[in-house]
Amino acid sequence: MILETQMILETQMILETQIQKADSIPFEPKVITVPESGWKTRVLTLFPNYALTTGDLIRKQLWPLLEGEEWLDLDKVPSREKFNRMLGLTHDRAGKLVSSDLSNATNFILHLYAQALWAGLLHHLEALAWVRRYVSKMFSSMKILGTNRYILRGTQMGTPLSFITLCLLYKFAVDFAGYGDKAHLIRGDDLVDLFPDPRRYFQAMEMLGFHINTRKTMVSERGGTFAERTFVAETRTLRNRREGLLWSPRRLQLGVKVFTRTKILFDIPLRSLVVPATQGANRYQSKLGRVYESIIDEFPTARRKLIACLVAVGHRDLILMARGLGLLVSVHTDLGGAEPGSPAQMRPERVL
């Protein structure tokens, strides 16, 4: 018992020291780029331990308040249950399915908006003064370590509060567009929803400084994608649809399409299977086996044999099949705020 008490006291002293350092020492993060499959590179900001520990303390206090929200997927692995529940809300509803993806989401957000978001949230929660100071400091201009350049915008990807900030700003855009009561689900920079007029949502996003990735954003009545999962939808045309309460004047809408059925597909994420080869005669190399192992549990038992056969197909057949189906096996290089070859060289929109 004495040992446990001593450990608790020591932990408290360590945390208090970390909080004091984060409160008094200016942040000077290091900026790096991390290449990923699909010809994409992410830009990460590396902070000292005391800055990350303090941010993680704040995140852990907020997480329980947010994880129960139906519109928000905070799970480490994308929640299939929440996805299915959201798709179920589209049934017997009219509109357009929007699968939205953001370009360099964490890099383009204005500090002013992030600060305003957290100021309102922390005021409502009656947070301590050091919490307010930390958040304001994290989402403000700061010098990049080892350079004479300054970060002027962004939510510092790789830090504890970055993901929550992105999700909440996404939610604000949905509510600002007037679609807070419509079916939607948010996970980081991914969103899937059913909106009557998607243009209002896109305008709200642009107002916040978000850049919509047009290559990966779909507006459709046939389906879409969310967190690397594909779904399809079926509709039917109403011949006689009335809106309103039984005792109120109602208007007749003819020819309106409503969604009757949605289904999540068990597909292999092709984008992560094909990557550029660094050497050799072949232009591509296959990572089919590794990806297969990581996703096989998601497939129904009856279909695993079929999937195993598909995995055995060589990369040449895979690419020919993809091209025959009109699928992209390559896209333009999309760097998360950095230019090729120089991790510290950031786009002018973000740094000065």
Smallest CA-to-CA distance from 215 within 97, 108, 102 is with 102
Query: Which residue shows structure tokens 């009109």?
Result: 326
Residue 133: per-residue pLDDT: 95
Above pLDDT 90, what percent of the chain? 26
What residues have CB less than 8 Å from 142, skipping those under 6 apart? 26, 27, 28, 29, 150, 151
Provide mean pLDDT across the span 163-176: 91
pTM greater than 0.75: no
On the question of pLDDT at 148 being above 50, the answer is yes
Residues 198-213: pLDDT tens digits? 999 988 888 877 778 7
Residues 281-291: pLDDT tens digits? 444 444 445 55
Residues 66-96: pLDDT tens digits? 988 999 998 887 888 899 999 999 988 889 9
CB-neighbour burial class of residue 314 (10 A; exposed 0-12, middle 13-18, buried 19+): exposed
Residues 93-137: pLDDT tens digits? 889 999 887 766 677 788 898 999 999 999 999 999 999 999 999
Q: What is the mean pLDDT of the chain?
A: 75
Residues 195-249: pLDDT tens digits? 999 999 988 888 877 778 777 788 888 888 888 788 889 888 876 655 555 554 4
Cα–Cα distance list, 114 to 138, 154, 162, 163 (Å)? 10, 9, 10, 12
Domain definitions of the chain by residue range: 11-264, 270-325
Task: Give the chain as a 3 state SS string.
Answer: CHHHHHHHHHHHHHHHHHHHHHHHCCCCCEEEEEEECCCEEEEEEECCHHHHHHHHHHHHHHHHHHCCCCCECCCCCCCHHHHHHHHHCCECCCCEEEEEEECCHHHHCEHHHHHHHHHHHHHHHCCCHHHHHHHHHHCCCEECCCCCCEECECCCCCCCCHHHHHHHHHHHHHHHCCCCCCCEEEECCEEEEEECCHHHHHHHHHHCCCCECCCCCEEECCEEEECCEEEEEEEEEECCEEECCCCCCCEEECCEEEEEEEEECCCCCHHHCEEECCCCCCCEEECHHHHHHHHHHHCCHHHHHHHHHHHCCCHHHHHHHHHHCCCCCCCCCEECCEECCEEEEECCCCEC
